[in-house]
């Protein structure tokens, strides 16, 4: 029975890699218009939004996926020329990972391409051992938050683009 499981697992991996390889080849180049749209969609999914009647809010983007973080940072730089002194970063991890704080900071610093002094306080989330979360272990680095200083009006502009997207898709 075990040999059958192993054979099926190997077959599944081969099929998966074949499908992914074909899908990767479907993506050619990404121009600035497509990058702009990618960034707007990423922000729509993972960025902070200003609440109607609420207080002003600038750009805050949070995610645990290093590739998503890199694409968002590329979007900020390529589309808005936002880099360096206009950015700050925060890290959120579960408190049962405190012993690897330096490793986590090194990881996110490398992902973002910014030195440690750009990172503010690390926030520790209370760990609940009863949950069955899978984001733990050696490859767990928590979540990184990107904050763009003085970006309230840009956040409002992105909100307008998002409204334009769903209006042009004919869903409103």
Rounded to 5°, the CA angle 168-163-88 comes to 135
Closest residue by Cα to residue 149 from 38, 56, 70, 75: 56
Q: What is the pLDDT of residues 33-92, one digit of tens each?
A: 999 999 999 999 999 998 777 778 999 999 999 999 999 999 999 999 999 999 999 999
- Determine, yes or no, domain membership for 10: no
Higher pLDDT, 125 or 44: 44
- Determine, yes or no, domain membership for 88: yes
Closest residue by Cα to residue 97 from 112, 88, 108: 108
Residues in the chain: 172
CA distance 21 to 15: 10
- Determine, yes or no, domain membership for 129: yes
pLDDT of residue 172 exceeding 80: no
Please measure the distance between the N-terminal and C-terminal CA atoms of the chain and give it in whole angstroms.
Answer: 54
- Determine, yes or no, domain membership for 22: no
Q: What is the DSSP letter of 134?
A: S
CB 166 within 8 A of CB 172: yes
| The pLDDT of residue 96 | 83
pLDDT of residue 137 exceeding 80: no
CA distance 66 to 105: 13
Structural domain range at position 157: 30-168
* Number of domains observed in the structure of the chain: 1
pLDDT of residue 135 exceeding 60: no
The DSSP secondary structure of 10-50, one letter per residue, reads HHHHHHHHHHHHHHHHH-----HHHHHHHHHHHHHHHB--P
Q: How confident is the model at residue 20 (pLDDT cuts 50, 70, 90)?
A: very high
- Determine, yes or no, domain membership for 1: no
- Determine, yes or no, domain membership for 50: yes
- Determine, yes or no, domain membership for 61: yes
CA distance 80 to 126: 36
- Determine, yes or no, domain membership for 159: yes
- Across-strand partners of 47? 61
């Amino acid at each position: 029975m075990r040999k059958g499981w192993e054979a099926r697992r190997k077959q599944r991996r081969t099929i998966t890699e074949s499908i992914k390889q074909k899908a990767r080849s479907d993506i050619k180049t990404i121009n600035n218009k497509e990058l702009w749209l990618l960034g707007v969609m990423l922000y729509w999914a993972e960025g902070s939004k200003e609440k109607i009647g609420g207080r002003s809010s600038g750009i805050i983007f949070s995610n645990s996926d290093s590739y998503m973080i890199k694409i968002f940072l590329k979007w900020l730089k390529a589309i808005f020329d936002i880099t360096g002194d206009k950015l700050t970063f925060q890290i959120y991890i579960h408190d049962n990972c405190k012993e690897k704080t330096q490793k986590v900071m090194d990881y996110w610093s490398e992902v973002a391409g910014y030195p440690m002094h750009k990172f503010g306080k690390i926030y520790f989330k209370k760990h609940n051992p009863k949950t069955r979360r899978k984001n733990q272990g050696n490859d767990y680095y928590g979540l990184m938050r990107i904050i763009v200083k003085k970006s309230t009006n840009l956040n409002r502009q992105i909100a307008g683009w998002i409204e334009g997207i769903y209006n042009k898709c004919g869903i409103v």
